[in-house]
Amino acid sequence: MDLHFKIEEWAKQRKSAIFHRQLAVISGPKEWAENQAQSLASMITLSDKETLWVGDKPDKEPPVSPKAYRQYLGTEYATVIFNCFSGISANALMAFSGTIQANGLMIILCPEFNRWPLFTDPLSNSRYSYGFTQVLEPSRFIKRLISMIEEDDDTVIITPTSFSGCNKEVSTAEINRKLNSTTPEQEHLISSILRFRTGHRKRPLVITADRGRGKSSALGLAARTLISKHASHIIITAPNKRNVEQVFAFANIEQNANNQHPLVFVAPDALIEDDYQADLLFIDEAAAIPSSILKALLNKYSRVVLSSTVHGYEGAGRGFELRFKPYLENEYKGWKNLMLKTPIRWYKDDCLEHFWFRVFIMEDSTSGACSDPLIECSNLTPEMSGNKSLAKHSVDYAFIEATKDLLASAPHILKQVFSLLINAHYQTSPDDLLRLLDAFEQRIFACTLGDEVIGVALICSEGGSALSEVSQGIINGSRRVNGHLVAQNLALHCADDAFVKIEQWRIVRIAVSNAYRRKHLASALLTYIEASAKELGITLLTSSFGATPTLLNFWTHNQYLPLKLGFKRDASSDEVSLIVGKPLTDLTATLLKTAQIQFSEELVYHAARYHQSMDTRLLTHLLTHCQPKELGSHTNQRVQQYLISNTPYMSFSQALATYVLHKLTCIECPSQIPQESYILVASLIQFKTTKALVNEFKLSGKKELSTNIKNAVAKM
């Protein structure tokens, strides 16, 4: 049968009936593939407005960049054409697939399958670290994608000489279900929100779902009933006003900035700063809002509904699951969690969603993992003799470097590794899978038990000769290249290009399955990584993470030194970033010694400025890693004078602060930090207000505060 006739018959059938959303891949020369896609789109859509073309178009119109996917969230199209000749982005593929309406089609244009893995991707330069993009070898991600395309019965493949695939029928029961109408799950959710209006206070309601399940529409319908029948006043907040357009649409209310309106959008930070009154607060896309703001809003408002996407195209939803739900469990007993599983914008068992979930290993990313390993006194040390790729312990743990070839050839290992990364870190996204398989600068080290991967560390190579030619530009702030996050940061901060010239590894993420925590595996994995690094001539190990007391204890227990503390809280983790490092040679030990002196001086100087609102326990722990300060006799005399006088502590604050810093820098282990030191750090070093100190330490007032400070100094 003629190829064109086959395609025409398939398109004709698709246009005349209801089928699942599907993927069609057009593989061949660029010009032919683009013309074929244009022809196919005209066969199955009624107008050009129903089609979104991502990447270059045959008619030379200004292209939609794959990087612009955020601008199209919330929109809908019958057909999306993704031109991979213009570059591939995993995040964009996931995001744009969510814009396709029921019975719609996603069309991918790509080179011939035997050529595609070697095709030079126009977006690759922005994807990989500077100095590593010149490595030319077949893309493992593309080879894996091709394999999954060929194995998928629901994907249509069109080449210049062949056509395969068919339209996937929707079950009769699903066809009879009216899309974009409320599902039983939504009706239960709406009823729960209505009951929530008069139920117990301070029992948050959390809604989680994948995209397309109708969270926003359920919020809107509930708001409509609450306003019309109960005259409720509702505030809705989200990272961006565009996020809540569907809520207002289903509530049948136009967005209005007037706070007297029954449903009004207010930005999260404005809600914290100003005094808004509401019967209920809806927080949409809660996963993308810093947890400190979420906690403040829960404290400020009595009835709060939080909505979050589980599988975000940028990974944020998992962060909400991992970091915020445990907080709710501890602080808000009786909080309720409802999950929407049934899609409302497309049919159940949707082919397109299932395909991309399989590709990006999001089908079952719910097994526990943790990126906050507890402080460990590890006596579990990998044996480095014998087979380097498989070092066994007496308890049958094995430590390996999971090479890219191993990950590409062993799907079960790749799935376990990436699932651990998804579950352990709030920002693991589809793009990370692409880099994991193709980025030459990335390495994976893993801890296994039998066939199970129970711990994983993602490593990124930084610095070295590749940066020599741009080193001066980096340290004077005129040049910033892709990747090399810590190397560039330290070089600029310390004004020393040695930080970008030395070969180093940055530990990007480390995760251990929840079932195997507290068994010293994370520390043992670090030990194995260190031995591997030394064998390869790496002279420095670093990491950068959102600082918490637990994480700080873990890294410093493993002899990593604090080197640089950020000033601003990360928007996603709501924590200040901390860079730590461990020297592997005498030369880098000397280099880090200088950086540590600078770290110590800056930490004390900025404590009452940029770090005044920092968690006091974290700052106190950081201060124990500062360079020791000599304590003069005059300071001792002033401290003794304060203890026997009735003079307010502020009159002696400089001497007391010097005394406290001296005591803290003499502490060698976090467990040795006296409990009394926290109130002294908060008052004398951070200079928190009397009101803040009274609240933080649960005191009755100024008098008790003064008494506690004096007692604390005496005990130090």
- Please state, in angstroms and rounded to a whole number, the distance separating the CA atoms of residues 681 and 656: 10
Neighbouring C-alpha atoms within 13 Å toward the C-beta of 587: 10
Spatial strand order of the sheet with 336-340 comes to 263-265, 234-237, 280-283, 304-309, 205-209, 336-340
Q: Name the DSSP letter for residue 484.
A: -
293 is in an annotated binding site: no
**What is the CB neighbour count within 10 angstroms for residue 223?**
26
186 is in an annotated binding site: yes
C-alpha torsion 581→585→587→592, nearest 10: 20
Q: Are 245 and 74 in contact (CB under 8 A)?
A: yes
Q: How far is CA 698 from the centre of its chain?
A: 34
Residue among 370, 28, 373, 353 nearest 211 (CA)? 353
Show the tokens assigned to 461.
């190579």
Q: Are 123 and 87 in contact (CB under 8 A)?
A: yes
Show the tokens assigned to 393.
């312990």
- Please state, in angstroms and rounded to a whole number, the distance separating the CA atoms of residues 270 and 488: 35
Composition of the chain by helix, strand, coil, percent to 5: 45, 20, 35
Phi-psi region of 129 (alpha: psi -120 to 50; beta: other; left: phi over 0): beta
- Helix, strand, or coil (residue 508): strand
Q: Name the DSSP letter for residue 538.
A: -
Show the tokens assigned to 543.
């990491």
Please report, for residues 131, 135, 309, the alpha-carbon distance to residue 440 in angstroms, rounded to integers and kept in the order given: 10, 7, 32
244 is in an annotated binding site: no
Phi-psi region of 212 (alpha: psi -120 to 50; beta: other; left: phi over 0): left
512 is in an annotated binding site: yes
345 is in an annotated binding site: yes
Binding residue numbers:
186, 345, 510-512
Binding residue numbers for ATP:
186, 345
